[in-house]
Each structure stands twice: as C-alpha cells, then as structure tokens.
Amino acid sequence: MSFVTVVNIQEQVLRPHQLHSKLSSYEADMILGQLVSILRNSYCYDEMTLKYVCRFLSPQAYQYLVNERILNQRCGYPLCDKSTAVHLHRDPFCMINVRASYVTKYCSEMHMKASSFLYAQLSSTPLSEREGIHLIANFNREKYEQDSEKYDPIIFEEYLREKRTQNDVDALIASIETLDF
C-alpha cells in the first residue's frame, strides 16, 4: 500500500480547481470524492498530510472515508498503513470472544480512539464555503507549524506527545468513548 503526501493531494486532486477561491458544490463534491478514492486504499504519509486532508472534510465525509477504508479491510484511521485487526470475511463465530468492538474497523484500540478524536474536531462547514483552502498557492509548508488554520485538527498522536492540558482538548478526549461509528 502506498502513502499519500500533501503534494500528491495538491497535484492529483486540487490542481484542476485553482481558478477561483470559492468552490461550487459540484467541485467540492468532486474533491471529496477524489480524496476518498485515493485514501480508501492508501494512507497519509505524516501528520501534516492528515491535517491537510482534514481541511476538506466534514464529519460526514470523514465517516464515509473511514467506512470505505474498512470495506477495503484497511484500518479506518487514515494515518495508518495496517489492516483491520480481524478481517470482515472471517467466520463470525470467531468474534464471540473478542471483547473490543474495534477489531473489524481498526488495527488497534489506539487507532479507534485516534479516529474518534479526529472526527470530533472536524468542521461541519460545507467545503464550498471554506474559501481559498484548496488553493495551492495558499499553502506554505514552512509556515505550516505556525499557521493556526481554523480547519486543522489536533492529531491524537500529537496530543499524546505534547500532553496538552487545555480544557477544551481534555473535554474532547473525555468524550471519545461515547462516539460510535
């Protein structure tokens, strides 16, 4: 399975949509469809790539992407190159003693949580109203760390690494167990 970088997304998905800063609903749907089509059978190269992908996703689009990955027997978390812990085609009776529900959807409990953590942060603003985010010229790799883009989520791995303590993030992590998809 191959990985996907920011440049891959820009060249394969966004390049045809550089003429104006506001996408039509049709163009937005095309971009989302292509993102899912690429990521259903590959994975994000790094956290920056996943954040970049999330600029374009709504919770619904993310859910669709995760489900497509699961149907492809990939771990639902788009930063992961592994398969699901238990393949869907396996005899269902094998599942009886499996206590965790993640096994048909994710490679690990960690990635189930990482996925829910990401999902909870995604914006519901339609892609067609997120003006200018698809413009390649607006993307500055050097400045990326400093930019506080309003559509960029905190990646779970980043959260664990930095041990962030802000109340809003703590509230997010506390809510993870209640999300189910």
Which residues of this chain interact with Zn ion, rule CB under 5 A? 75, 77, 80, 82, 107, 111
Give the nearest distance from C-beta 70 to Zn ion in angstroms.
11
The phi, psi pair for 168, rounded to 5°, reads -65, -40
Give the nearest distance from C-beta 107 to Zn ion in angstroms.
3
Measured from the CB atom, is 78 or 123 closer to Zn ion?
A: 78
Give the nearest distance from C-beta 57 to Zn ion in angstroms.
18
Measured from the CB atom, is 51 or 69 closer to Zn ion?
A: 69
Q: List, as one string, the DSSP characters of 17-73.
A: G-S-SS--HHHHHHHHHHHHHHHTTSEESSHHHHHHHHTT--HHHHHHHHHHHHHTT
Measured from the CB atom, is 5 or 73 closer to Zn ion?
A: 73
How far apart CA 138 and CA 159 sit, in angstroms, is 26
Give the nearest distance from C-beta 41 to Zn ion in angstroms.
14
Query: By the 8 A CB rule, do 3 and 43 touch?
Result: yes
Burial of 90 (0-12, 13-18, 19+ CB in 10 A): exposed
Measured from the CB atom, is 36 or 85 closer to Zn ion?
A: 85
Give the nearest distance from C-beta 111 to Zn ion in angstroms.
3
Measured from the CB atom, is 110 or 135 closer to Zn ion?
A: 110
Burial of 117 (0-12, 13-18, 19+ CB in 10 A): buried
